Amino acid sequence: MSDESKSGIVDVIGEFDYSTQHDSYNEKYKKWRRNKDNHCAFNYAANKNEKVYVDSKGFVAHSVEEAEKETLPHIFYIIGISALIWVFTEDVIGKLGISLFTLLGFDIHTNFFNSSIYGGSMEIVAALISVSVLKVAVPVLYAHIKFKLPSKVEFMRHMNNSLALVGAIAMTLIVCTAASLPTAYSSESKEIYDYFRSIDADLYVWDQNEFLMYTIFDVVIMSIISEMFFHGAMFAALRQFGDPFAIVVTSLTAGLLTQDFRAMPVTILVSLVAGYGMVSSGSLFTAISVSIVYKMYDLALIILETDSTDKMPLTRNLFMMTALAVGIIGFIVFWIGFVRRKKGGIARYSSEYSRWKRFGFAIKTFPYSAVVLICLAYACVRLTQ
């Protein structure tokens, strides 16, 4: 707590830890938060010993807690709308669009009661790419418009410490290997590690060009725009209440939007690493790199799993052990050079509310609460398919 807080003066913006980010970022962030017309800004500055007279209530002492309770629902409302756009585009608009093209004579078909897409290979790839871009790009644009964040704040771009990037990639390799171990020797590993299982499409008609096109799109393009959504405007608005809170909320949201209980755990863990890596390094590039490494790891596993020819010099188990070893070495280097020397860190905020109570504000805020229920319900339906 600062000297100002001890004397009764509270300024949540002034007391925020800005040492973790670049000066140009901090300048823009402070300006955005001090905007009196910004309903999403957690902006409270007052003398705790002073009271304000309110008609019919008498003298009332406004508090930091009241300001926090008032700001969080505004933020979660925008996050909820953004997430609802994602879900509605993926589950409704995408299927309606495919049905329309079916009526127009294109060789592509879908089922409203499951996530299946089947038909011509190029038609499937075109549909998957179109729906994937729309479901993420529109929420990114909506959040950008509603939060009205400066571009330097919305997308962190100054790499303060490259060692944090190394640490984030190392932790990603460890997480991916740990998540893969339970099914490494299972007879069902091919199905579980199927890189394309989440799209539920008829892949047997695809040739090498379609696989290459979709893989490059999913690994690179989707990693970029997805991280712009989860660790862009959404993250910047939430980090007013501390980086740990923002990291956890964005990670849980990322997990929910998979609408798949099998994918949720590793998605949440990878997103936690991406969020921590971003604030530690100061750049969104770190979060994007983590996402790319995760998807490349998953792709490598399915290639090694399905290629049984003698020409493949690397086995699945050798790949996993190598990735784990590289991850551990990278993490040790990161720990010694970054964490122990305290070269950077995350900004914390001590709230009078418990973490669970703040998460409760999110769950109670519509439509974020609706998104949680829809995603969990759809995930339950997927388990039965």
Kindly report the three-state secondary structure assignment for every residue of the chain.
CCHHHHCCEEECCCCCCCCCCCHHHHHHHHHHHCCCCCCCCCCCEEECCCCEEECCCEEECCCHHHHHHHHHHHHHHHHHHHHHHHHHHHHHHHHHHHHHHHHCCCCEEECCCCCCEEECHHHHHHHHHHHHHHHHHHHHHHHHHHHCCCHHHHCCECCCCHHHHHHHHHHHHHHHHHHHHHHCCCCCHHHHCCCCHHHCECHHHCCHHHHHHHHHHHHHHHHHHHHHHHHHHHHHHHHHHCHHHHHHHHHHHHHHCCCCCCCHHHHHHHHHHHHHHHHHHCEHHHHHHHHHHHHHHHHHHHHHHHCCCCCCCCCHHHHHHHHHHHHHHHHHHHHHHHHCCCCCCCCCCCCCCCHHHHHHHHHHCCCHHHHHHHHHHHHHHHHCC
Q: Spell out the residues 6+ positions from residue 223 whose beta carbon is closer than 8 angstroms to its own.
A: 288, 291, 292, 295
The token pair that represents 77 in the structure block:
């409302």
Q: Please indicate, yes or no, whether the overall pTM of this predicted structure exceeds 0.75.
A: yes
pLDDT for 236:
95
Tell me how far apart the alpha carbons of residues 234 and 77 are, in angstroms, rounded to a whole number. Answer: 11
Low-confidence ranges of the chain (pLDDT < 70): 1-9, 46-62, 113-115, 182-208, 306-314, 339-344, 385
- In a 13 Å sphere around the CA of 76, the CA atoms on its Cβ side amount to 26
Tell me how far apart the alpha carbons of residues 149 and 141 are, in angstroms, rounded to a whole number. Answer: 12
Q: What is the pLDDT of residues 268-323, one digit of tens each?
A: 999 999 999 999 999 999 999 999 999 999 888 877 776 655 555 567 888 899 99
Tell me how far apart the alpha carbons of residues 193 and 221 are, in angstroms, rounded to a whole number. Answer: 21
Please state, in angstroms and as integers, the Cα–Cα distance from residue 37 to each residue in 12, 14, 40, 238, following that order.
17, 18, 9, 18
